[in-house]
Amino acid sequence: MYNILDEAFEKRYAVPQFNMNGLIWLESILKTAEKCRAPVIVGTTDKIVDELGGFELLAQVFQNMKKNLGVTVPAVLHLDHGQTVDRCIEAVNAGYGSVMYDGSKLPIAENVNNTSKVVEYAHRHRVTVEGEVGSVGGTEDGVYSDLSYADENECIQLAEEAGIDSLAPALGSVHGKYKGEPNLGFEEMARLRQFTNVPFVLHGASGISDADLQKAISYGHAKINYNTELNIAWSEALRKVLTENQELYAPMEILKPSKHALEVVIEEVIRRTGAYQKAMI
Ligand code: 13P
């Protein structure tokens, strides 16, 4: 992860993180990244890890799937919004390449303290750590959070004191579908960039316009997270095939259009973030 984040940050493109919600997502993400010669990050939220069988199983499936599909582009398994220090440590022990510790709801001193513990452990295993300040609003995994803007000084404090590899400053983006137009805090982004050299992570990227995305990348967002856009494409295709074929019950036939829909969106996002053909062998 170190290499792909630093390279993207330096050259001002972004590596997309696609969250997986099942094996179909994982297969589609890896296949499409390989086809596009793009570095890629596969995100698993804290909650989905338990739904899909735990850290160890996911890490093994990830490695095996990479091998079976002959993936040669850099692909990293990442814990998205890790809820506790112990959960991050579990992910590291299972073989994850990257973890996010989400202490954004805690007072900053506690967030820094816990994130530092994760960094200390993860770095010993060459695993990168993402921290969050402020709160990305909206709904993820059925849980709603209010949006609250990241405080500039707290961002600088977390970056400097905890020694994180990337920072997710909540600056107007939300998880899930946007109500109305997304309104990102570009002034805050620009100011923050003057005070820290840590790569930024944009959560809640589904629904953000291409122009806004390019602007965010220009301010050093080197990792951009997508979940909702994939899930909408997947569910729309599934709904259509079931509605149009009332007699169909073979699971693989039912899921084919959804897989294809995922692959189309993944390729589109890879191009949008500038990661297309950026994988180095
Ligand atoms: P979206 O819900 O906008 O796809 O965001 C996903 C995300 O930020 C995962 O952490």
Does ligand 1 lie within 6 Å of residue 80's CB atom?
Answer: yes
Among residues of the chain, what percentage have pLDDT more than 90? 89
Range of the domain at 23: 2-229+273-280
Q: Which of 46, 50, 80, 102 is catalytic?
A: 80
Tell me how many degrees the CA angle 81-171-173 measures, rounded to the nearest 5: 65
Is 34 part of any domain? yes
Is 251 part of any domain? no
**Region class of 213: left (phi > 0), else alpha (psi between -120 and 50), else beta:** alpha
Is 260 part of any domain? no
Does ligand 1 lie within 6 Å of residue 89's CB atom?
Answer: no
Does ligand 1 lie within 6 Å of residue 34's CB atom?
Answer: no
Atom of ligand 1 nearest to the CA of 81: 10
Is 237 part of any domain? no
Q: CB–CB of 8/15 below 8 Å? A: yes
Q: What is the pLDDT of residue 244?
A: 97
Identify the residue whose C-alpha is closest to ligand 1 atom 1.
204
Is 265 part of any domain? no
What pLDDT digit, counting tens, does each position of 77-133 carry? Answer: 999 999 999 999 999 999 999 999 999 999 999 999 999 999 999 999 999 999 999
Is 60 part of any domain? yes
State the total domains in the chain: 1
Q: Does the pLDDT at position 7 exceed 70?
A: yes
Q: Does the pLDDT at position 143 exceed 80?
A: no
108 CA to centre of ligand 1 in angstroms? 23
Is 240 part of any domain? no
- Whole-model pTM: value is 0.96
Atom of ligand 1 nearest to the CA of 205: 3
CATH number at residue 184: 3.20.20.70
Q: Does the pLDDT at position 181 exceed 90?
A: no
Q: Is 80 a catalytic residue?
A: yes
What pLDDT digit, counting tens, does each position of 19-52 carry? Answer: 999 999 999 999 999 999 999 999 999 999 999 9
